[in-house]
Amino acid sequence: MLKPGKFEAKPIGQPEFGLSSGGHNYARVDFKLIDGPNRDEITAAYLYFSDKTAGRSSGVLRYCGAKDFDWPEAKLDGFGSRNVLLDLREETYKGEVRIKVAWVNEIKAPTELPDTDLPF
């Protein structure tokens, strides 16, 4: 079972696009966790494209390396070329506790060097 926390992950395969029972477009994105206690585990994030969530969901695809993504023109050149940070959280669903992807975040390069002596 997956452990909650924030872990680096690599998008694998291509997103699977569909229509939810509520009538919203969605994309299922599979990820392979590459660090921490969940190393080598596979999990999925569901990205929904409603009026309120389309901007964030499109952004997640860009975080994964997709170029110029705009629903429904799914131009996914470069998808999978960038790792992301998954925020895994516990959720109770129908009386069962499970781990789900709560957030998919961009990994940004550090803006400052640590305040230590460098060996050169």
pLDDT at 35: 92
Q: What angle do CA 63, 97, 100 make, to 5 degrees?
A: 5
DSSP states along 33-99: E-SGGGTT-EEEEEEE-STTTHHHHHHHHHHTT-SS-BTTB---TTTTSS-EEEEEEEEEETTEEEE
5-106 topology per CATH: OB fold (Dihydrolipoamide Acetyltransferase, E2P) (2.40.50)
| 8 A C-beta contact, residue 84 and residue 8 | yes
Tokens coding 115: 């305040």
pLDDT at 26: 94
Domain locations in the chain? 5-106
**What is the model's pTM?**
0.84
CA distances from 29 to 14, 104, 109, 111, 115 (A): 7, 10, 23, 29, 38
Residue type, 72: P
**pLDDT tens per residue, the chain (120 residues)?**
899 999 999 999 999 999 989 888 999 999 999 999 999 999 999 999 988 998 899 899 999 999 876 665 666 888 999 999 999 999 999 999 999 999 999 998 765 656 665 555
pLDDT at 106: 96
pLDDT at 60: 94
